[in-house]
Amino acid sequence: MAARRVSSLLSRSLSASSPLLFRSQGRSCYNGGILRRFGTSSAAEEIINPSVQVSHTQLLINGNFVDSASGKTFPTLDPRTGEVIAHVAEGDAEDINRAVKAARKAFDEGPWPKMSAYERSRVMLRFADLVEKHSEELASLETWDNGKPYQQSKAVEIPMFARLFRYYAGWADKIHGLTVPADGNYHVQTLHEPIGVAGQIIPWNFPLLMFAWKVGPALACGNTIVLKTAEQTPLTAFYAGKLLLEAGLPPGVLNIVSGFGATAGTALASHMDVDKLAFTGSTDTGKVILGLAAKSNLKPVTLELGGKSPFIVFEDADIDKAVELAHFALFFNQGQCCCAGSRTFVHEKVYDEFVEKSKARALKRVVGDPFRKGIEQGPQIDSKQFEKVMKYIRSGIESNATLECGGDQIGDKGYFIQPTVFSNVKDDMLIAQDEIFGPVQSILKFSDVDEVIKRANETRYGLAAGVFTKSLDTANRVSRALKAGTIWVNCFDVFDAAIPFGGYKMSGNGREKGIYSLSNYLQIKAVVTALNKPAWI
């Protein structure tokens, strides 16, 4: 399944007819500084109550669920309503200390790094089986806490989550060093050793998948972990932690702390007994994380940060297919995707047709309660993100981009935003420069290949890009010229477990997924032994 396109899976998952909460029925307009709302088909329809129970809200430290040292909690909210789902333990520096102490003891004295790689892989495979057994609970918690469509969680992300752990379980007993020829009477070998205690900080947009991207390779290499969840979405990490213990993971190998960046996150990044740090989040926060790591013990840091990815449609493209793929590239996951195709470059010869069809597609996008079948778009994660997206929409209007559709809130409850499309966007506008992280498509016009390569690369980011053309020569030329870590040609958001992912420039450093991710969690040691009268060297 990992080799299939996310988009094709979603199209099958969302095909069933069902009651709809919101469907766009008209275009919004801007008049005197006031954005007028779409009509909605059934805005009063009741929110669905998930059947899953929230059973784990405490910190996971040394194999036990415990309260925070301070006893404090904080609310995790339902983005559909802004109401409290549960109160979760609020970890701070003292809790990070406890978690790191447990991880250090588990690494130095515990069985995990000393266990055979085959046995480690068996634990990870048992965990993947348990994930599939409890897929409905995990999917429900993910949607409830995050707001993404349930069908996306259940049919796409949970299978990917299990696949990633099976992938890394397969690597566990295939990690080895080399015998190296050297001048002189010496035997030289390299050892690939676990790096030690890994600190990991995951974001709120894909809580489970980012858990897998980080925890999977760290465990396969024999490390122990302190993982800090995003404060917006702590619930599925705790549930997954419980399943890992059930699968046979020894106490202290995985410790999970929920809390805020300024307290728990800072303490983890600064900790002198953390050997490696991995962070996914914004570029600005990534800079802070890197600085904290450098000022403490110079721990190595892997960063997967922001993006402003170009999606380039050439004049020979099948326009209907290009429109659908560009729509998916931007609006997937409510636009809350670091690699979203958020700068849609379209050749001038097909620009007008593309804009009209993109507008029509956005107006058909079904927005509503993510637990309902057929829903394509749920709410934004929280009020802060909602206000950020609305600020950029206002900026686009004030910059004289053409608002083709959308531009306002849907309903008066929760954080729902109309699918929004801007045309006549210029490179110097904020909506073409900044990472919006929301359902806002910006469509720009270009005239030739050299021009669009130059403009696509004129960004501080370099996470991903999409190229849509029938010409193999054009695809090869452009994919080699674009400065980004992933180039999708006539596809987008293909996330196989074996495909490395990471950015150029201010989109981060290092790679996650695939064989390249293993190096993040290994130390390379050279062992040189003198030979006495060797028969051969």
Active site members? 304
CA atoms within 13 A on the CB side of 424: 9
What is the chain's length? 537
How far apart CA 431 and CA 93 sit, in angstroms, is: 37
Distances (CA, A) of 57 to 88, 147, 178: 5, 19, 45
> Within 13 Å of residue 351, how many CA atoms lie on the same side as its CB?
17
Identify the DSSP state of 7: H
Q: Is the dihedral of CA 15, 21, 23, 29 positive or negative?
A: negative
Q: Which two tokens stand for residue 294?
A: 């450098």
Residue 28 CB: number of other CB atoms within 10 A?
Answer: 19
Distance from C-alpha of 514 to C-alpha of 373, rounded to nearest angstrom: 33
Those residues whose C-beta lies under 8 Å from the C-beta of residue 130, and which sit 6 or more positions away, are 243, 246, 247
Q: Rounded CA gap, 384 and 396, in Å?
A: 19
Count CA atoms within 13 Å of residue 523 on its CB side: 15
Residue 54 exposed, middle or buried by CB count within 10 Å (0-12, 13-18, 19+):
middle
The secondary element (H helix, E strand) that includes residue 191 is: strand 186-194
Cα distance from N-terminal residue to C-terminal residue, the chain: 48
Residue matched to tokens 């495979």 = 125
CB–CB of 516/500 below 8 Å? yes
CB 422 within 8 A of CB 439: no
Q: What is the rounded distance in angstroms from the CA atom of residue 158 to the CA atom of residue 514?
A: 18
**C-beta neighbour count of 330 within 10 angstroms:** 29
Contact residues for 450 (Cβ-Cβ < 8 A; gap 6+)? none
